């Protein structure tokens, strides 16, 4: 490989660079090349990116940037892209995927800055490929909300989607999310892909109930991708309508509960409204 001193500088613009999600061997040749030739790196955490640069034997100015960075900082960074090659990285994986960068890319695009992407590791895709769940159609939905009601609402909003669902999750919240999936998306295959590309990588697929039993006995450590298989052919009839209505009735009027469950399951709203009234009694 060329030495840093002999590499040609890059043309000015924004370079979106994916970095590893655990195993440092997963950095691409192109990512190393861009990080070696850029004028500076915009990153979430300068300590995390500093370690990666050190591992690669590279030294570049590191500029802290995340989606909480102010409008003025963003504008300054975009302005600098007129004359400098700026690499955007996140702490791990693909920037913008549940990570900062969306506003920066939108602003750079608006300013007609040349932008290119250097793809690489992404935990959602790594988890999907490992899970054995159908992958012809999938929907990535980021992190589930922390609060029970909001989490249930998001899951019931996704119930009718004919695709594998992918979420990012943390160890302490895993069993709560699995319980919500058991209630809201009954009968689905579920996968927990943990510590991908790292020493203790594991992927477990089963029913939500089986996974709850396992992870209650073995509290999970590390980073997690949680996947839910699509509704099966026979599944529309498998919705636990009463459970969905009861959940919704905890906070909503029967008419609203019926509308929500109708949207999630594709079932008739009037029939659901009648059932909601019965359950309320
Ligand atoms: N941008 C990253 C990507 O492309 O995957 C994701 C960043 S998001 C802030 C971090 C979350 O991604 C973690 O909480 C976890 O859910 C998931 N994740 C990241 N690395 C992982 C790994 N090695 N194994 C499993 N999940 C991982």
Whether residue 55 is found in the same domain as residue 136: no
| CB neighbours of residue 153 within 10 Å | 19
Backbone angles phi, psi at 185, to 5 degrees: -125, 60
How confident is the model at residue 264, as a pLDDT? Answer: 66
pLDDT of residue 118 exceeding 50: yes
Write the pLDDT tens digit of every residue in 136-156.
999 999 999 999 999 999 999
Residue 22 CA: nearest ligand 1 atom is 23
Report the pLDDT value the prediction gives residue 260, as an integer from 0 to 100. Answer: 79
In angstroms, what is the span from residue 21 Cα to ligand 1's centroid? 7
The CATH number covering residue 159 comes to 3.30.950.10
20 & 85 share domain = yes
pLDDT tens digits for 63-91?
Answer: 999 978 999 999 999 999 999 999 999 99
CA 22 to ligand 1 center in whole angstroms: 9
The pLDDT tens digits of the residues spanning 15-64 come to 999 999 999 999 999 999 999 999 999 999 999 999 999 999 999 999 99
Same domain, 36 and 112: yes
> What domain range includes position 28?
4-121
In a shared domain, residues 10 and 108:
yes
Residues 179 and 267 in one domain: no
pTM: 0.84
Percent of the chain whose pLDDT exceeds 70 = 94
Cβ count near 24 (within 10 Å) = 12
Which comes out higher in pLDDT, residue 170 or 238? 170
Domain boundary residue among 66, 101, 121?
121
Residue 233 has pLDDT above 80, yes or no: no
Ligand 1 centroid – CA 182 distance (Å)? 23
Pairing of the two strands 189-194 and 13-17: unpaired
Domain count, the chain: 3
Residue 5 reports pLDDT greater than 80: no
| 195 and 249 within one domain | no
CA 136 to chain centre: 18
Does 140 share its domain with 220?
yes
Is the pLDDT at 181 greater than 90, yes or no?
Answer: yes
Please give the pLDDT value at position 244: 78
Does 40 lie in the same domain as 82? yes
pLDDT per position as a tens digit, 216-231: 999 999 999 999 999 9
Point out which residues pair with 17 in neighbouring strands.
118
Average pLDDT over residues 167-183: 97
Nearest Cα to 248, choosing from 158, 177, 156, 186? Answer: 156
Please count the other Cβ atoms lying within 10 Å of the Cβ belonging to residue 120: 17
SS3 168: strand
**Ligand 1, pocket residues at CB < 6 Å:** 21-22, 90, 92-94, 97-99, 122-124, 168-170, 193-198, 223-225
Average pLDDT taken over every residue of the chain: 93
Ligand 1 atom with least separation from CA of 169: 16
Boundary residue ending a domain (211, 230, 249): 230
Other CB atoms within a 10 A radius of the CB of residue 279 amount to 15
Q: Which of 97, 39, 104, 57 is nearest to 78 (CA)?
A: 104
One domain for residues 101 and 135: no
Ligand 1 atom nearest to CA at 198: 23
Q: Whose CA is nearest to atom 8 of ligand 1?
A: 98
Sheet strands (E) in 23-150: 40-43, 62-64, 85-88, 115-118, 138-143
Query: What is the structure's pLDDT at 172?
Result: 97
Task: For residue 251, give every residue at least 6 positions away whose Cβ sits within 8 Å of its Cβ, in sequence order, or none.
Answer: 149
The pLDDT, as a whole number, for residue 236 is 39
128, 141: one domain: yes
What is the arithmetic mean of pLDDT over 108-134?
98
Atom of ligand 1 nearest to the CA of 18: 4
Q: What is the dihedral of CA 220, 168, 125, 90, to 10 degrees?
A: -110
The pLDDT value recorded for residue 234 is 42
Residue whose tokens read 């589930």:
144
Statement to judge: residues 254 and 218 lie in one domain:
no
Per-residue pLDDT at 211? 97
**Distance, CA of 280 to chain centre:** 37
Q: Domain with 107 in it: what CATH number?
A: 3.40.1010.10
């Amino acid at each position: 490989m060329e030495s840093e001193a002999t590499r040609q500088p890059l043309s000015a613009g924004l370079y979106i660079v994916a970095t590893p999600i655990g195993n440092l061997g997963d950095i691409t040749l192109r990512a190393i090349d861009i990080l070696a030739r850029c004028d500076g790196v915009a990153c979430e955490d300068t300590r995390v990116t500093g370690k990666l640069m050190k591992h690669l034997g590279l030294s570049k100015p590191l500029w802290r940037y995340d989606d909480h960075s102010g409008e003025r900082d963003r504008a300054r960074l975009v302005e600098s892209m007129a004359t400098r090659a700026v690499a955007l990285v996140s702490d791990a994986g693909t920037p913008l995927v549940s990570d900062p960068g969306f506003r920066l890319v939108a602003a750079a695009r608006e300013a007609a800055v040349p932008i290119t992407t250097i793809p690489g590791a992404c935990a959602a895709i790594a988890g999907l490929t490992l899970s054995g769940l159908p992958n012809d159609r999938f929907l990535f939905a980021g992190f589930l909300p922390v609060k029970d009601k909001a989490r249930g609402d998001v899951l019931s909003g996704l119930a009718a989607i004919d695709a594998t669902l992918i979420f990012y999750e943390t160890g302490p919240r895993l069993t709560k999310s699995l319980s919500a999936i058991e209630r809201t998306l009954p009968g689905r295959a579920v996968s927990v892909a943990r510590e991908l590309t790292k020493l203790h990588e594991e992927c477990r697929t089963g029913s939500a109930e089986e996974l709850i039993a396992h992870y209650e006995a073995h509290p999970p450590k590390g980073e997690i991708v949680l996947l839910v298989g699509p509704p099966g052919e026979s599944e529309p009839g498998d919705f636990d309508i009463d459970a969905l209505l009861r959940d919704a009735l905890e906070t909503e009027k029967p008419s609203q509960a019926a509308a929500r469950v109708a949207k999630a399951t594709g079932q008739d709203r009037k029939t659901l409204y009648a059932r909601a009234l019965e359950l309320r009694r």
